Amino acid sequence: MGKGGSRTPRALATLAFVALLAGCGKSATREGEVLVRAYNDAAIAAYLTGDLRPLTAVAVPGEVQKVGVLVDFKTSAGLVLESRLEELKVTSAEKRPRDFLVRTRERWRYRDRPARAGPPAGPESVAVMTLEYHFVPDGERWKLVEAKALTSEALDPATPVRSP
């Protein structure tokens, strides 16, 4: 093999390794997004219904308990939290043998609503947040240990959702 357009075995191996790493990054990003969406869906349901059971499939007991405290607080005030995830973008995903860190930028719309019919719902709020999710292996699946807001910006509820 000469110089010019030919590839040496070493160069081909390097290109294959770079392609593998690029593929792994996309795979980790996609897997991270699936994990975050599953947790968010379970949390949304818990706040709306007061049922924490769906969270037990996606979060460790300590995280379920944290959400339970907030659900109990809303319930004791006669409220439920209606929330909707309007945008989610994974900004980084780092999968390691003992944990999985996923950072996201998310846009949420939420409001408190009385648990019983009659009184009007509270005002709508919109926030854009940067979050970090920390997952650990639990058998054959990953479970959330902690979700931490790194930044939070309140928006006017009339602010349109950006297109992808």
Instruction: List the domain boundaries for the chain.
Output: 9-155
Instruction: Yes or no: say if 109 and 101 are a contact pair by the CB < 8 Å rule.
Output: no
Spatial distance between the Cα atoms of 74 and 84, rounded to a whole number of angstroms: 17
Q: Which CATH class is domain 9-155?
A: alpha beta
**Residues 57-96: pLDDT tens digits?**
999 999 999 999 999 999 999 999 999 999 999 999 999 9
The residue to which tokens 């969406």 are assigned: 37
Identity of residue 105: R
Partners of 19 in beta bridges: none
Question: pTM value?
Answer: 0.80
User: Which three-class secondary structure state does DSSP give residue 56?
Assistant: helix
Q: Taking the alpha carbons of 47, 54, 61, 25 in that order, is the dihedral positive or negative? A: negative
